[in-house]
Amino acid sequence: MQFPTSVEDHPLVRRAVRHLDALGDPRHGQLLVRCLDDTLAHTIRPMPDGSAFVVTGDIPAMWLRDSSTQLMPYLALLKDDKGLQDLVAAVLERQFDQIRRDPYANAFNPEPSGRAHDGDDLCEDPWVWEEKYEVDSLAFPLLLAHRFWRATGRTDHLDGAVRTAHAVLSVWRTEQDHEHRSAYRFLRSSGPASDTLPGEGRGTPVARTGMTWSGFRPSDDACTYGYNVPANLCAAAALDGTAEMAHEAGDTALAEDATALAAELREGVARHGTVDHPEHGTIYAYEVDGLGNALLMDDANMPSLLSLPLVANVPTADPLYRATRAFVLSPANPTWYRGSAAQGVGSPHTPKNHIWPIAIAVEGLTCDDDASRLAALRLLADTDAGTGAMHESFHKDDPGRFTRHWFSWANAMYAELALDVAGLGTRSLWAHPSPRLSAPPA
């Protein structure tokens, strides 16, 4: 099967470019087309079974999370474009197969070619690139499946989504009691400490909270505490969409289970996932363990606390989100940096003082005014080091010092923000309000 390799002539892309050009800087339209076309032309690989494999860029593996976010900007272009629709459906088919093969894996190979760290991981499946268990790796394909349905009305992927969701819910319920029910372990003898789990691969101790446990963050770094708050809220949003898809597919039991589990995750976050900050008031923690420990920070990788309106059905006006956002975008957050070139959120995954373009795009997409969104778009163009592409991170004082020369997820986030600035974004697909969590239950 052949999939589109360019959207330069897509009517909506041309319209977006005209709008961006009218803002007075031709770089924005050029970058939009370049970022969209790079994903289509260079990261998508049609497979013999009709599915599609998506590499992250300069790493030849398919991450469940990244491959979902790489496709998100195209949702705005799908309505009358069957070729792009078929591409997204083919990627979803691949993701569903991968999850059912190993729901604890975060990244896969196109063929059974072996692991990223041969002889160093516990997983022996040659289809698995890496088996770092991350809650968001299961949530993002379900989010994509639901948004694809809303964007197109197509239902031919729903049976696969429902079968996959059964496997996802089984894992998330098991990991609500990680200490007693989970057999998952991850040990790696090489690399930094963030590349393996303590406690003989079990992770640090946790209590039952109603939340579901994660070994690793969206950055692929080990969690300090086992309950990642933004990942749990993202999972709840994925379950909201799963319930709707299950109703459409006639699986009432799954719909009820998904709705119940979403409520449990949100209640767990409300009871255990917030803290009182001396400057910012009640805010979300990034990670907790249910034993009284909490990590106050954010990470540029989504799901992040900053990205909750994009990935977790949390309204931008929600008081708890606004207080958390103020913390994240301040010196109180240890991963927020301000320099002569930019200010924004970074990650412990990359060197200190490095800001992530993904976080700049998220900051723009989750603000409430056009001027701030345009400012974020301009900052991304100003910090690409003249390469015409987004990078993983760059130094706050020198964009020429960057990590990862080809990172397709960052390109996708630029495209999503540019389409939003042009009035063609996908806000209607993720603006799906959920129960508010402004205060923990009595």
Residues 109-164 have pLDDT tens digits of 999 998 776 656 789 999 999 999 999 999 999 999 999 999 999 999 999 999 99
Residue 438 has pLDDT above 70, yes or no: no
Whether 246 and 255 have beta carbons less than 8 Å apart is answered as yes
Binning pLDDT at 50, 70 and 90, where does residue 442 land? Answer: very low
Whether 389 and 404 have beta carbons less than 8 Å apart is answered as no
Domain boundaries, the chain: 11-429
Residue with token string 């996802």: 168
Q: What is the pLDDT of residue 117?
A: 66
Q: Which of 284, 290, 167, 132 is nearest to 226 (CA)?
A: 290
Q: What is the pLDDT of residue 429?
A: 63
Residue 1 structure tokens: 């099967």
Stated pTM of the model: 0.96
Whether 32 and 414 have beta carbons less than 8 Å apart is answered as yes
Residue 228 has pLDDT above 80, yes or no: yes
Q: What is the pLDDT of residue 332?
A: 98
Binning pLDDT at 50, 70 and 90, where does residue 433 land? Answer: very low
Nearest-5° Cα angle at 360, 362 to 26: 105
**How far is residue 385's CA from residue 311's CA, in Å, rounded to a whole number?**
29
Residue 329 has pLDDT above 90, yes or no: yes
**How far is residue 388's CA from residue 42's CA, in Å, rounded to a whole number?**
15
Residue 430 has pLDDT above 70, yes or no: no
- Name, in order, each residue with C-beta under 8 angstroms of 32's C-beta and a sequence gap of 6 or more: 13, 16, 17, 20, 414, 415, 418, 419
Residues 56-82 have pLDDT tens digits of 999 999 999 999 999 999 999 999 999
How many other C-beta atoms lie within 10 A of the C-beta of residue 249?
Answer: 18
Residue 221 has pLDDT above 60, yes or no: yes
Binning pLDDT at 50, 70 and 90, where does residue 434 land? Answer: very low
Q: Which of 329, 286, 280 is nearest to 304 (CA)?
A: 286
Cα 117 to Cα 121, 190, 234: the distances in Å are: 7, 9, 29
Residue 366 has pLDDT above 80, yes or no: yes
Whether 323 and 281 have beta carbons less than 8 Å apart is answered as yes
Please state whether 441 falls in left (phi above 0), alpha (psi between -120 and 50) or beta.
beta
How many other C-beta atoms lie within 10 A of the C-beta of residue 137?
Answer: 28
Residue 34 has pLDDT above 80, yes or no: yes
Name the DSSP letter for residue 221. Answer: P
The torsion angles phi and psi of 338, rounded to 5 degrees, stand at: -125, 130
* Percent of the chain whose pLDDT exceeds 70: 95
Residues 97-107 have pLDDT tens digits of 999 999 999 99
On the 0-12 / 13-18 / 19+ scale of CB atoms within 10 A, 153 is exposed
Whether 304 and 218 have beta carbons less than 8 Å apart is answered as yes
Residue 435 has pLDDT above 70, yes or no: no
Nearest-5° Cα angle at 255, 253 to 256: 65
* CATH class of the structural domain 11-429: mainly alpha
Q: What is the pLDDT of residue 115?
A: 72
Binning pLDDT at 50, 70 and 90, where does residue 90 land? Answer: very high
Residue 199 has pLDDT above 50, yes or no: yes
Q: Identify the residue with better confidence: 429 or 207.
A: 207
| E strand or H helix at 382 | helix 370-382
Question: Of all residues in the chain, what percent are helix, strand and coil, respectively (each to 5)?
Answer: 45, 10, 45
In 24-93, DSSP assigns E strands to: 44-46, 52-54, 62-63
Beta bridge partners of 407: 57
**How far is residue 201's CA from residue 188's CA, in Å, rounded to a whole number?**
9
Residue 395 has pLDDT above 60, yes or no: yes
Q: What is the pLDDT of residue 191?
A: 85
**How far is residue 322's CA from residue 164's CA, in Å, rounded to a whole number?**
34
**How far is residue 70's CA from residue 410's CA, in Å, rounded to a whole number?**
8
Q: What is the pLDDT of residue 121?
A: 76
Average pLDDT, the chain: 95
Residues 203-217 have pLDDT tens digits of 999 999 999 999 999
